[in-house]
Structure 1
Amino acid sequence: MIRFALSLLLAASLWGTGPRAVEGGALPRSTPEAQGVDSAGVRAFAEAADDQVQEMHSFMLLRHGKVVAEGWWGEEGPEKPHILWSLSKSFTSTAVGLAIADGKFGLDDKVVSFFPDAAPAEPSANLKAMRVRDLLTMSAGHESEPKLTPDGVWVRQFLAQPVPHEPGTVFRYNTPATYMLSAIVQKTTGQTVRDYLQTRLFEPLGIERPRWDESPQGESIGGYGLFLTTEDIAKFGQLLLQKGQWNGKQLVPAEWIAQATAKQVENDEAPSAGNPDWRQGYGFQFWQCRHSAYRGDGKDGQFCVVLPEQDAVVVMTAQTRTLQTQLDLVWKHILPALHDEPLPENPAAADKLKATLTGLQASAKTAPPAEPFLAPPQHVGPPEETAHGLSSRKFQGIPSLAVAPGGRLWANWYAGPTAGEDQNNYVVLSTSDDDGATWAEALLIDPDGPGPVRAFDPELWLAPTGRLYAFWAQAQGHDGTVSGVWCVHTNDPDAARPSWSAPRRLTDGIMMCKPTVLSTGEWVLPASTWRKTDDSARLIVSADQGETWTLRGACHVPTEVRSFDEHMLVERTDGSLWMLVRTNYGIGESVSTDRGKTWPELTPSQIAHPSARFFVRRLDSGNLLLVKHGPIDERTGRSHLTAFLSEDDGATWTGGLLLDERSGVSYPDGQQTDDGLIRVIYDYSRTGARQILTATFREEDVAAGEAVSGEVRLRQVVSDASAAR
């Protein structure tokens, strides 16, 4: 586990002389023992969080309205606003409560009544029945989240989504539903949620005007996008604990806080209910927790946990995928440290806590991660010509492709200055704004230059949210058991130079194929631990749009036929999941009938193929597209890259559009865009010609086995490193 420098500003909190005066809107401070908090428990929490949480950024503990412990790791600090991600939702809920109290609308008002011009011409009965209450409780009736794109009209896109369930009956985590709450507040008050809360909430709490990102139409996004300091979050938690009162004034109606933070719907059977604190029930944009607590939370480990029975608030910010671990540490260490009465002052315990935290700070400056491949890459930015220039590449291949909502093309692959798959490998992202006529390399990911860590097997994916993800594997050597799937993302994939998130590690293993979105709305990563482990072809599932990932199940590939798995998933029309896996003999298959929890052992499929990656994806028509080497029933070498169609969920295949017949073509990947155009990317001669190419066509071309649409374009060059020395 990587240790991070902890700048703990405990001052009076741990070894001072008692509470200090409130200045500039700051919360009062106290020693832990004076408020009935055992310093040893706080120390145990800090040590465990530093050791077990991937990247803690801050925490703050309030007891009886006073800060008794506060800390920041690494470059974080008390004045630095932190992105809240979905913790923003709880603030949007507060704005809704205030607007209802102001008489602007009611809980049971119909959603379409606010936006009659944006609704479909003939809205379904379920859409017409959808209420504000249903948006608040994540039970709007959708099976999967509506797709909101950077260039779309978000209200219209939300209302266009099918609503198969009766609103109020099925919990499905739904960030666009929170956006709709924000849009309703703005529609009825004439102010964004941020502006509406400015005088009613932020200013009274002493929170400076915060940043809150906006939709393309200028509304606060609502479901995410708010930035606050750790103490700002703590003030909000204390306001909730005080039932809306602050300095003698009722800022938020107590009745609203009671409703919002109580269980309004069950969520124990929802796709998001994998961890114990995610199946305790849901309120109005607040999660119920174990131990009679409730919380607002957000992606990567942002928490505001309120414990009414203990009169305490715990705030945490982080950059991690282990959100349940954070809560488990609160229950294990903080909760038992909270006593009903003040404790005797304990200078020895305070000194130990101070020494522990000082030791963490010192170790963070020098201690490397336990394994170098667990560290974030050192370079995530524009390519450096000397180290990464095209003229220096002796290897490049294994590409992926994605198309942004506005049409910008993105491609990635991995490369290196030596003619092999070794510690010199790095990942390249390139982009085109002229439909592939020209390309420019825009981002490069390099773990540590000459090694020992390599970045390889990248993948691009445009999520249903419109967010573009760039995945890659990071490992030492050529072993999937000591590797991990990493990613960065951008919310603006149509920009030539978009801003990218910080890199984060999602799971163990390697992912060489695109994620799949199931009919439940869950996202599935096909990650593999390769040849040295049983049950290597794994499903890593997210039920919250990529905020957290958990292992759902895995298929066992017999030892004697194992290769690199490179498995792909298809959800069949009967609800079963069909897994296709690369093996030594070609393509194996397995079918799960319980949403991927269990899988029969892999057996040979009817699709003949060399031991190489293939590509399968469901098209907008409902048919399956398969890109493989050679005819369906013939095992060729890595040549004759050909596209086929299936109208019966893979039982039979027809067509056969030849994309590139040359020996040395391999590793297809692709995407179909809303206009029906299909783009496939592949490599050719990774250490010879060193080319990345695309083929563009339509479904009718595949069905006919020849170019009939007038839009077939083959062997379009994305990158050519053949001139490298």
Structure 2
Amino acid sequence: MKYFYFFTFSLLTLSIHAQEPQELYFPPLNSDVWETTDPASFNWCETSIDALYDYLAREQSKSFMLLKDGKIVLEKYFGNYTQDSVWFWFSAGKSLMAVLTGIAQAENLLDINDKTSDYLGAAWTSLTPAQEAKITIRNQLTMTSGVDETDFFCSSPECLIYKTDAGTRWVYHNGPYSLLRNVIENAAAENLNLFTNSHIKEKIGMSGVWVKAGFNSFFVSRARDMARFGLMVQAEGQWNDSPILSDMDYYKDMINTSQELNPSYGYLWWLNGKASHITPESPTSLTGPLTPDAPDDTYTAAGSQGQFISISPQNGMILIRQGAQDDQELAPVNFLNDLWARIMSLECQITATEIPNENNQVVYPQPATKTLTITGPVPDQTQITNLAGRPLNTWTRTKEIDISGLSPGIYILTVVQDKRLVTHRIIKR
């Protein structure tokens, strides 16, 4: 006799991270219209969402957004901050600068393998001519300039002193990066704001502005502008089939490991799912992925005090967060990991009660090659797992189960009806 077993069963069909990405939605230009998706459609619990918002409030957040396939699933503003309020991207703006550099290369204004001195002139550092000639735009994009980082923000020649040859050491360093603004402006013969306006903002309906603060250049915008930028990057540099970043080789290199020293860094984007990583706080390499509780394919624009544009293409998800934070890390990846951990645990769960299989539910034929049929009432949900318990597929409100895509072998079929479940061992031939 088969029995119902007592355990917690996640509704994986409705879980946002169990679904395949769908066709991307793009909000209209120059409009506040933006389609939404009800989080209940992913079986997310209101209590879990409220707990996430409480956590964000405690962490001094100003805004939070979560997109699925381009549509807004969650959007929350805190305190006096509103949809129209603006805030600094801080170092998350590095990822915007990376896209602008790729656009400049696509227009043949520069080549990232060019020497930086081709655009800034000789003696932009205090290095010898031979040492300086080894630094390329690629080194600026990958944090491998070889320049000493002691004076972290300063980009004047007297601050940029020799540490090691370019390309032989990875260290997070603002000085050489910040000069990418000068590289782009000299290459394009145009102010960075004008270049950003014509090549990105006008094409994707984005607002915002670059502002100078000392040696730094910070981008300032609304949360929805960050979301538009993230959506364009998620769409492989396109906006509704219109190319924004057309150099696909550059795009792929930008969001993949750019050098062997820090596998978790692309072109000014942070990468998850790698064997090791180096954080901004120390040049020491650490074993394991950057954010272990986030999807492995996540790549992130990350800034001081927790400014995030974090993208998981596999899940079709984009996380946006603006705000302050007591932790003064330059790119607080632990906070990012906590956010993803909470997001990946939002779905509700139901509990099945242990009772005998009084309906004598049968699954046939056995063995089967293409389709299984379940007798009795139409189940609320059905799931197939392998013998290790890994979910392989889930169905709702159907008695006909298509197993044609499974390899031959033995599997477990779990049937849920009225918060009760029964398990069957099935054979695929």
Structure-2 residue corresponding to 1:316: 321
Partner Cα distance (1:297, 1:201) in 2: 20
Higher strand share: 1
Partner Cα distance (2:109, 2:43) in 1: 43
Deviation at 1:148, TM superposition (A): 5.8
Structure-2 residue corresponding to 1:231: 224
Partner Cα distance (1:23, 1:49) in 2: 29
Instruction: State percent identity of aligned pairs.
Output: 19
Equivalent in 48, 62, 65 of residue 55 of structure 2: 48
SS of 1:173's equivalent in the other structure is coil
Query: Any stretches of 5+ residues in structure 1 without a counterpart?
Result: 1-18, 269-279, 345-725
Residues 144 and 170, structure 2, Cα contact 8 Å, conserved in 1: yes
Partner Cα distance (1:83, 1:50) in 2: 18
Deviation at 1:27, TM superposition (A): 6.0
Structure-1 residue corresponding to 2:241: 248
Distance change in 2, residues 1:61/1:125 (3 Å)? same
Structure-2 residue corresponding to 1:65: 70
1:564-713 to structure 2, matched below 5 A, reads none
Deviation at 1:305, TM superposition (A): 0.5
Distance change in 2, residues 1:197/1:343 (3 Å)? farther
Q: How many residues align?
A: 301
Letter in 1 for 2:190: Q
Structure-2 residue corresponding to 1:288: 271
Letter in 2 for 1:335: M
Cα deviation, 1:145-169, whole Å, max 9, x if unaligned, reads 55666xxxx55446xx222212112
Letter in 1 for 2:49: V
1:266-281 to structure 2, matched below 5 A, reads 266=260, 281=264
Deviation at 1:111, TM superposition (A): 1.2
Choose 244-253 or 117-126, whichever is displaced more.
117-126
1:211 equivalent to 2:204? Answer no
Partner Cα distance (2:153, 2:334) in 1: 31
Distance change in 2, residues 1:265/1:44 (3 Å)? farther
Deviation at 1:175, TM superposition (A): 1.1
Residues 152 and 173, structure 2, Cα contact 8 Å, conserved in 1: no
Partner Cα distance (2:100, 2:26) in 1: 32
Deviation at 1:324, TM superposition (A): 3.9
Letter in 1 for 2:102: G
Residues 26 and 239, structure 2, Cα contact 8 Å, conserved in 1: no
SS of 2:133's equivalent in the other structure is helix
1:179 equivalent to 2:187? Answer no
Deviation at 1:58, TM superposition (A): 0.9
Letter in 1 for 2:322: T
Structure-1 residue corresponding to 2:310: 305
Residues 124 and 163, structure 1, Cα contact 8 Å, conserved in 2: no
Deviation at 1:20, TM superposition (A): 12
Partner Cα distance (1:170, 1:288) in 2: 18
Equivalent in 38, 44, 47 of residue 44 of structure 2: 38
Deviation at 1:66, TM superposition (A): 0.2
Deviation at 1:267, TM superposition (A): 5.7
Partner Cα distance (1:240, 1:20) in 2: 12
Deviation at 1:36, TM superposition (A): 3.4
SS of 2:198's equivalent in the other structure is helix
SS of 1:58's equivalent in the other structure is strand
1:265 equivalent to 2:259? Answer yes
Letter in 2 for 1:84: W
1:128-147 to structure 2, matched below 5 A, reads 128-146=133-151
What TM-score do the two structures reach when normalised by structure 2? Answer: 0.63
1:103 equivalent to 2:108? Answer yes
1:199 equivalent to 2:198? Answer yes
Deviation at 1:131, TM superposition (A): 0.8
Partner Cα distance (2:27, 2:220) in 1: 26
RMSD: 3.0
Deviation at 1:143, TM superposition (A): 2.9
Letter in 2 for 1:187: N
1:112 equivalent to 2:133? Answer no
Distance change in 2, residues 1:192/1:145 (3 Å)? farther
Partner Cα distance (1:124, 1:103) in 2: 26
SS of 1:306's equivalent in the other structure is strand
Partner Cα distance (1:342, 1:67) in 2: 25
Distance change in 2, residues 1:137/1:305 (3 Å)? same
Query: Any stretches of 5+ residues in structure 2 without a counterpart?
Result: 1-24, 273-290, 349-392, 398-429
Distance change in 2, residues 1:337/1:22 (3 Å)? farther
Residues 300 and 311, structure 2, Cα contact 8 Å, conserved in 1: yes
Cα deviation, 1:523-552, whole Å, max 9, x if unaligned, reads xxxxxxxxxxxxxxxxxxxxxxxxxxxxxx
- Report the structure number with the largest CA radius of gyration: 1
